[in-house]
Structure 1
Amino acid sequence: MTDQILFACVDQCCFFKLSGELRYTNASGMDDLVERLFSAKIQCTELVVDLNQASFIDSTYIGLLAALARYAQQHQLAKPVLFCTVPAINELLLSLCFDQAFDLVQQSTDPDIDLTSVQAMPYSDQQKGQMILRAHEALIALNEQNKTQFQSVVDLLKQQLS
Structure 2
Amino acid sequence: MDAGKIQAAGEGGDYRLKFTGDVRLTLCNSLDQFLEEMFDDDHFRSVVIDLTQTEGIDSTSLGLLAKLSVQAKKRFDYVPTIVSSNPDITRILLSMGFDRVFDIVEEANIKSTPLKEIVCEACSEHVVKGHVLSAHRTLMDLNEKNKETFSELVKSLEGK
Asked if these proteins are the same fold (TM beyond 0.5), I'd say yes
Aligned equivalent of 1:13: 14
Say whether 1:116 aligns with 2:105. no
Aligned equivalent of 1:140: 140
Aligned equivalent of 1:27: 28
Sequence identity percentage:
30
**What SS does the corresponding residue of 1:74 show, helix, strand or coil?**
helix
Cα distance, 1:32 vs structure 2: 2.0
Contact 1:37/1:43 (8 A) holds in 2: no
**What SS does the corresponding residue of 2:159 show, helix, strand or coil?**
helix
**What SS does the corresponding residue of 2:107 show, helix, strand or coil?**
coil
Cα distance, 1:109 vs structure 2: 5.7
Contact 2:136/2:154 (8 A) holds in 1: yes
Cα distance, 1:137 vs structure 2: 1.4
Tell me, in whole angstroms, the C-alpha distance in 2 between the residues paired with 1:42 and 1:156: 38
Equivalent AA in structure 1 for residue 50 of structure 2: D
Cα distance, 1:25 vs structure 2: 2.4
Alignment of 1:120-131 (within 5 A): 120-131=120-131
Tell me, in whole angstroms, the C-alpha distance in 1 between the residues paired with 2:73 and 2:12: 20
Tell me, in whole angstroms, the C-alpha distance in 2 between the residues paired with 1:107 and 1:146: 27
Say whether 1:96 aligns with 2:96. yes
- Structure 1 residues 80 and 94 mapped into 2: Cα distance closer, same or farther (>3 Å)? same
Cα distance, 1:134 vs structure 2: 1.2
- Structure 1 residues 30 and 54 mapped into 2: Cα distance closer, same or farther (>3 Å)? same
Equivalent AA in structure 2 for residue 19 of structure 1: T
- Cα-Cα RMSD: 2.0
Tell me, in whole angstroms, the C-alpha distance in 2 between the residues paired with 1:73 and 1:130: 23
- Structure 1 residues 42 and 139 mapped into 2: Cα distance closer, same or farther (>3 Å)? farther
Aligned equivalent of 2:87: 87
Tell me, in whole angstroms, the C-alpha distance in 2 between the residues paired with 1:5 and 1:47: 14
- 1:20-53 Cα deviation digits (max 9, x unpaired): 1011123332122234345x26752212100111
TM superposition outliers: structure 1 runs of 4+ over 4 Å? none
Mind listing any 5+ residue stretches in structure 2 that lack a counterpart? none
Tell me, in whole angstroms, the C-alpha distance in 1 between the residues paired with 2:23 and 2:73: 24
Aligned equivalent of 1:61: 61
**What SS does the corresponding residue of 1:51 show, helix, strand or coil?**
strand
State TM-score, norm by structure 1: 0.88
Mind listing any 5+ residue stretches in structure 1 that lack a counterpart? none
